[in-house]
Structure 1
Amino acid sequence: MDTQCGDLSAQSISNNYSTTAPPEPVHSTGAHRTEGDENAGGFGELTELPIEINERRPTCLCCGRPQKVCLCPFMPVRPLEVSTCLYIVQHPAEESRVLRTVPLLAACLPPEKCKVFVGRRFNEERNPELAAVCRDPKTLVLYPGSDAENLEDMKVDFSASVHNVLIIDGTWSQAKDMFHRNALFRLPKQVQLNSSISSQYVIRTQPTNTCLSTLECAAITLSIMEKNKAIEELLLRPLRALCSFQLQHGAQVHHSKEHLLRNGIYDKPMPTNKRKIKRMEQLVSNSTL
């Protein structure tokens, strides 16, 4: 899930005004202009102003990024060969975000190994393929909680057969809503990562220091299930490059809410809702989210 997981393109601006100015109205000496004459004269002056045309920045056809910040040099030369299939269920709000990690993940893997489904609600009738995956006993859903087993501790030989992993892509509140409102997502075995590493996705705010983006979750998951630590490094390279480019072009490092609260530098109004206040207290006390 984008833990707040994930792509920059400038939009060209079209101008529909005519470049030809209308003829100036003729007035006799000493005559007063009417209100209509004054308006006509005003529009005439506007049409004489120079038209600014913003050209679209050249975009890389492979990664979809502007060529100046192309991420292709940081991608694997060929899609990574993995046996595990990832199924990303993405909240619609993530589609419009400029900085997303799922496109980077999909660019590093074969199309058949990384499938993305966009929506808030999923069911058997509208999503038969996803429903079949959720009913498959070899499917895992990556979502933390008291019912989740640590993926690292599972006594399963994932190389013996092809397994699927379902990952929810969205903010933590969006992911929570999607998980609890979609009965399909609670059919697979629930697993979580026991990793204590800090997120490297520093250009987007996370709830805690150890909350990971969708790409980071997928990278760690694949490295565990494929028993290949190199996969994690290869998948994280474009993420590090993305963050580096953004920071070089004016972006700021986003500390987690946990970090801001612990250091007394959280600058947003504190919530009045009791449930949200409790979550804030959990962040400070490092309790389980």
Structure 2
Amino acid sequence: MTRGVAERQLQIPRRPQKVCLCPFLPVHPLNVSTYLYIIQHPAEENRVLRTVPLLAACLPKDKCQVKIGRRFNEDRDPELSAICRNSSTLILYPGEEAANLEELAPNLPNCPSNIIIIDGTWSQAKDIFYKNSLFRLPKQVQLKTSISSQYVIRTQPTNRCLSTLECAAIALSIVEKNDDIQEILLRPLQALCSFQLQHGAQIHHSKEHLLKNGLYNKPLPKNKRKLRKMELLLNNVKI
């Protein structure tokens, strides 16, 4: 193991040697010009099988910063406020007003850009995005890709949902114009899922898949809003 990998392994949860993820990290942090800012919901920090530590271990320290919290403003985080007001900053969050990053990328300036990604469940991410006015200042973008998530050890709402690491991997490969970035960043995630499945974990299909195939065995929610969301999933309506 090289010194660089040994130092970066401290960023990921300790694991037994036979399931160590260090061999799947790049020998040196990826040389990227883009700065990632991960806005992490506090509940995500305590999850064992999270993807942000893997992402951070693959990138230079100054290129992947994690900010934990639910509410942000200029007084609490002037640095984040300045980033949100920077014209070269993008926030990755899907919606009707979001531009497709794949289509926007050719027109992006060559100077280093900032990408903000919210890390949490979809309901947590939605709460953070809509209840923090700072996050409506940057250009909003989304991924056009239709690939399915490889993060199969955690249930996603729909077949189109991706983990934070996967979103970052695709976004970086687009703005950096380097497909190798996506492949390199996904290696530790693929290894993590493989190890977990080998040791008894089950593949988690999306809630959309379970509903459409009659495999959802939990009681239906009584809350009308949650029930409506499940109906939209069943009818393949984007939510």
Answer yes or no: same fold by TM over 0.5. Answer: yes
Number of the residue aligned with 1:52: none
Partners in 2 of 1:123 and 1:61 — Cα distance? 31
Higher-helix-fraction structure: 2
Bigger radius of gyration: 1
Q: Deviations over 1:200-236 (max 9, x none)?
A: 0000000011200000000000000000001000000
Partners in 2 of 1:254 and 1:265 — Cα distance? 12
The runs of 5 or more residues in structure 2 that have no matched partner are 1-8
Partners in 1 of 2:219 and 2:46 — Cα distance? 26
2:41 equivalent to 1:81: no
Partners in 2 of 1:143 and 1:155 — Cα distance? 16
| TM-score calculated relative to the size of structure 2 | 0.93
Task: Kindly report which structure 2 residues correspond to 1:155-170, keeping only aligned pairs within 5 A, or say none.
Answer: 156-158=106-108, 160-170=110-120
Number of the residue aligned with 1:254: 204
The runs of 5 or more residues in structure 1 that have no matched partner are 1-59
Identity percentage of aligned residues? 70
Partners in 2 of 1:139 and 1:109 — Cα distance? 19
Instruction: Say whether the 8 Å CA contact 1:152–1:224 is kept in structure 2.
Output: yes
Number of the residue aligned with 1:243: 193
Deviating 4+ runs (over 3 angstroms)? 60-64, 155-159
Partners in 2 of 1:204 and 1:155 — Cα distance? 30
Task: Kindly report which structure 2 residues correspond to 1:147-226, keeping only aligned pairs within 5 A, or say none.
Answer: 147-154=97-104, 156-158=106-108, 160-226=110-176
Partner AA of 1:237 in structure 2: R
Q: Deviations over 1:99-140 (max 9, x none)?
A: 000000000000110000000101101111111100101000
Number of the residue aligned with 1:64: 13
Instruction: Say whether the 8 Å CA contact 1:65–1:71 is kept in structure 2.
Output: no
Partner AA of 1:174 in structure 2: Q
Cα displacement (A) at 1:167: 0.3
Partners in 2 of 1:62 and 1:97 — Cα distance? 14
Instruction: Say whether the 8 Å CA contact 2:40–2:118 is kept in structure 1.
Output: yes
Secondary structure of the corresponding residue to residue 154 of structure 1 = helix
Partners in 2 of 1:99 and 1:154 — Cα distance? 32
Aligned-CA RMSD value? 1.2
Partner AA of 2:80 in structure 1: L
2:93 equivalent to 1:93: no
Residue 156 to residue 209, structure 1, CA distance change in 2 (3 Å) = same
